[in-house]
A = this chain, B = another copy of it.
Amino acid sequence: MTEQTGPSRRRLFGYAGAAVAGAVVAGGATAAGLRAEGNDPVEAGQTRDLTPYGDHQPAIAAAPPKHAELVALNLLGGSDRAALGRLMRLWTADIVALTAGRPAPGDTAPELAVPNAALTVTVGFGPRVFTLPGLTTAKPPGFAELPVMKHDRLQPGWSGGDLLVLVGADDPVSVVHAVRRLVADAAPFAEPTWRQSGFWNGTGPDGRPVTGRNLFGQVDGTGNPAPGTPDFDATVWAEGPEWFRGGTTLVVRRIMMNLDTWDELTRSEQERAVGRKLSTGAPLTGTAEHDDLDLDARDADGRLVIAGNAHSRLSHPSENDGRRIFRKGLNYVRDTGAVRESGLVFLSYQADVSGQFLPLLARLDAADALNEWTTTIGSAVFAIPPGFREGGWLAESLLR
């Protein structure tokens, strides 16, 4: 069984084309050969900016942004299906302008809109949207709030939400400017309920794309399907309902990491918890990051080399009926006075949140060795509409 084996093959949707295909970076074995436009230097005549148009919202399959902010908003009392449509038209106009480095309509700080920032915006709908009159039958199958896990210590301030905007860019100035604009335009319809910011370094010292590391120091995201492959498409893009074809679902989990107790471990204890080497991210049974795990290998004493509760074993597709997810992490730090909290904003994309993500989450909650040093303090789930064409708008086929 190889890591490239996924769930049943499904129809391959039209892929968003060269602009996205050229920008992918992922844990897949093919990633090193691909350009990561979001991270590479700008060469003459090139741009880091992605087209806002396509079958899918473009950030999902693109390189991880260096900086990102997520804002969850709750709909105001009077916001109905028609209001949501008006907001989506407004946001679409904002997105088309901002991702090209142009001021959004009515932009109060137009000079903060700059090109080549690799700015992307991803919009999602929380479960309550599908309780609005006229939208109840549109709910994607299996789309619902996640149940609370045994190890969860959820805080309302980091959980839930009716709408999501996820803004990524090379530079935080571009991120906060775009977020400010999008939140301001939403004010008649919805108000923020939480904000989470994070960062990721997907560029090696030589400027080439790498998987990146979380704040435990682990290479994080190696097992991902590679954008542009049939496995990726089958993992991520939904086939229905009709309006949702080419969309996906996004799980946002705020995972606090206890660096102090983690640092008390020896390196080999740290490696055993994950089943991978800290130096390269290679499985303990291999030598290179993208070597597949040998889940049956045993050491001289007959013990499993990749322990029974190792994170990489429990999350491996072969232990999950072939189910996969596509995950992107954002490191975060948050200070309360002089006390720093560190962690990961864990983002998981999958066509079917109940069918793909939930069984994996339950399995990890029950047994993952990492649970000793991690605590999930926020949880939210969003349906991510498909992309839009020039002249169209977000979720048009649902809301027009």
Once bound together, how far apart are the Cα atoms of A108 and B267, in whole Å?
A: 9
- Cβ of A400 within 8 Å of any chain B Cβ, yes or no, is no
Residues of B within 8 A of A288 (CB): none
Which residues of chain A (21-67) have a CB below 8 Å from chain B? Answer: 40-42, 66-67
Write out the residue numbers on chain B whose beta carbons fall within 8 Å of the beta carbon of A177: 215
**Least distance between A31 CB and chain B CB atoms (Å):** 18
Task: Tell whether, in the assembled complex, residue B194 and residue A337 are in contact, meaning their CB atoms are under 8 Å apart.
Answer: yes
A156 to chain B, nearest CB (A): 10
- A213 pairs with B173, CB closer than 8 A: yes
Q: CA–CA, A284 to B96, complex, Å?
A: 32
Contact with B along A104-147 (1 / 0, CB 8 A): 00001111101111000000000000000000000000000000
Docked complex: A74-112 residues within 8 A CB-CB of B: 101, 108-112
Q: Is A358 an interface residue (CB 8 A)?
A: no
Among B42, B199, B263, point to the contact of A108 (Cβ < 8 A): B263
Q: Would you call A173 and B199 a contact (CB within 8 A)?
A: yes
Q: Which of these, B110, B171, B206, B207, contacts A66 with CB under 8 Å?
A: B171
Query: Could you say which residues of chain B place their CB within 8 Å of the CB of A172?
Result: 67, 199, 201, 331
User: Is the beta-carbon distance between A342 and B176 smaller than 8 angstroms?
Assistant: yes
Chain A residues with a Cβ under 8 A of chain B: 40-42, 66-67, 71, 101, 108-112, 114-117, 157, 171-174, 176-177, 180, 191-195, 197, 199-201, 204-207, 213, 215-217, 259, 263, 278-279, 331, 333, 335, 337-338, 340, 342
Q: Which 8 A-B pairs have the closest CB atoms?
A: A41-B41, A109-B217, A192-B338, A108-B263, A172-B199, A116-B205, A173-B201, A115-B205
